[in-house]
Amino acid sequence: MPRISVQYLLSSLSGLLDQYSSSKILGVSSALLAQLTKIGFLHKNLPVSHLYSVFFAAGDVTPWNALIAALSRQGFPVIAIQAFSVMHRIALPLESYSLCSSLSAASSPQANALNLGKQIHAYALKSGEMSSIFLGGALIDFYSRTDDIQGAHQVFDEIPVRNTVCLNALLNGYVEKKLWMEGLSLFRIFYSLRLDPDDRTISAVLRICAEMSFSRLGMQCHAHLVRRISGVEKDVFLLSSLVEMYGKCGLVGKVHFVFRMFDHAAGEGRRDVVLWTSLLNAYGRNGLFDEVISTFEEMLVEGTEPDEIVMLAVLSACARSGNVMKGLLYLESMVKEYKLAPRHEHYSCVVDLLCRAGELGKAWEFVDEIASEDSGNGGIMFAVSAWGAILSACRDSGNVKIGKLAFQRAIQLDQDNVGMHVELSNLYARVGMWDELAELRNFMVDKGIKKDIGFSRLEIGN
């Protein structure tokens, strides 16, 4: 359906307002626009006058609410905001439903409408709409999505009634900003407010436990899910969160147990690729690289198609286990069999694989080959880690020429990378190039480039 046909339909509906009941025509119009946005026929540059002409005679907010909600959901936040502005301009009452939909549109990166969200917040305070628990949750979600976590917390303090949705919106805001301890502090007040955490709450807390290695709290969340959330064994999203949490806490036995929970619940059902990815990453994070490869092959036997993230986990396992032939075979199958386009992370894993196996020459040939396929711009196709692998191999073999080239490519991507400067200094020290070593260290001091000091944290006690 071309763009002109959409305009013609809207104009025709507008003309029917004079002949038939406006409420019926408006209902059809809003339903039509909702369907057009769903199936992609509504052009983003469709003139606003055509889009709203059929709605101007409406004294009812219902079709407007439906229009704004449909546009916001289907990826047209700018047009949704324009519809909200027109609705306000023609003096239609602004209800909680239209305000919530407009806040969702305003939080979209495409709209970049932070000021509109704050204006809606001010309107809600003055009009008394802050008493709506739905609008309170929408405001918290808006501020969280726009990286204003203080604004989200302010709204949380302002709303008179709080429910689990409101707390989840703020909790997810803390998690996205990696404010782990603040998120845990918020989680602790759930029961003081006589609210029960739901699956979304536990999922956010599990991510905090994974990042902070809070294994005991993670196991308590697991127990809560089993006792209070029905059907957790079939919820791939929750199972993946549990697998990731146990994997980052180093509890590999628990990882396998959670993964097999799906078998007992789903019978012959096929596990989602996300769940397989969580298992592969958990094994790889704990050094079980052979299990990564065997699990990947089990996944293929089950009939689950791999994606780019799965292939990255497998290639990384091949690199660390020294399985050169399988690693190269998997990279080839990624393109030919699974029709996936390798990214710089995949190529970097292959470079690391060859360097760890002592094949520095083949690694450099591989880089040149990819560079030639990429119009000679091979530096962009490889991450800093790939050049670090080559430089590390050069340090072991004493190859200064290739080591310098790898260092130059790496600093084009990250000029202040500490690891690359340290590796080059180690290479100079190995071959006895003391003048160059002193010059490099003086450069690091002048630029303030320092090696990070490692530290560990242990969870002690109950």
Residues 6+ apart with CB under 8 A from 403: 390, 391, 394, 395, 424, 427
Tell me the per-residue pLDDT of 190-233, one tens digit each, with 9 for 90 and over.
888 888 888 899 999 999 999 998 999 999 999 999 888 777 88
Mean pLDDT of 165-194: 91
> What percent of the chain has pLDDT above 70?
80
Q: How far, CA to CA in Å, does 347 sit from each of 177, 331, 352, 370, 404? A: 30, 8, 9, 9, 20
pLDDT, position 36:
53
Distance linking the first and last C-alpha atoms of the chain: 64
Rounded CA gap, 117 and 286, in Å? 44
Question: Is the Cα torsion angle 141, 145, 149, 150 positive or negative in sign?
Answer: negative
302-353 pLDDT, tens digit per residue, is 888 999 999 999 999 999 998 999 999 999 999 999 999 988 889 888 988 9
Among the ranges 6-15, 32-41, 406-415, which has the highest mean pLDDT value?
Answer: 406-415
Domains assigned to the chain: 369-452 (1.25.40)
Among left, alpha and beta (phi > 0; psi -120 to 50; other), residue 461 is left
C-alpha–C-alpha distance, residues 9 and 19, integer Å: 16
Amino acid at 409: R
pTM given for the model: 0.76
Q: Distances from the Cα of 73 to the Cαs of 40, 64, 78, 103, in angstroms?
A: 12, 14, 12, 12
Crossing angle of helices 273-285 and 236-248, rounded to 10°? 0
State the pLDDT at residue 95: 85
The dihedral formed by the CA atoms of 61, 66, 70 and 76, expressed in degrees to the nearest 10? -10
CA distances from 145 to 137, 142, 152, 219 (A): 12, 5, 9, 29
Q: Which pLDDT belongs to residue 333? A: 93
Exposure b/e, 137-161, CB count within 10 A at least 16 = b: bbbbbbbbbbebbebbbebbeebee
Mean pLDDT (the chain, rounded): 81
Whole-number pLDDT of residue 282: 94
Q: Give Cα separations from 165 to 38, 59, 170 (angstroms).
A: 26, 32, 9
